[in-house]
Amino acid sequence: MDRAQTQSEDEPYRVVFGKRLRALREAAGLSQSAAARAMGLDRSYYARLEAGRHSIAVDRLPGVARVLGVEVGDLFAGSGS
């Protein structure tokens, strides 16, 4: 997968990741509040993750993936779409 497929030249990785996070959350049928609660995160912090204004620690990714019903790699696969 080349860079163009994973990230727009104009978007920081955290923005691309936030969009992917939102898409996966919506596909799982979860509200931001429900997803945040299940992940053990504050809802406002979670909202900032989706907006690309914050990044998340790598150690938290397995829990995020579990709540969304995906593998950790799926959090990044297709991020450019």
For 37-62, the pLDDT digits (tens) are 999 999 999 999 999 999 999 999 99
pLDDT over 90 at 4, yes or no: no
Q: Please give the model's pTM, rounded to 2 decimal places.
A: 0.82
Rounded CA separation 78/44 (Å):
25
- Return phi, psi of residue 6, to 5°: -105, -25
Contact (CB, 8 A) for 19 and 28: no
12-73 carries CATH number 3.10.20.740: no
> Which residues make Cβ contacts (< 8 Å) with residue 32, sequence separation at least 6?
25, 43, 46, 47, 50
Domain residue extents for the chain = 12-73
Q: Three-class SS of residue 68?
A: helix
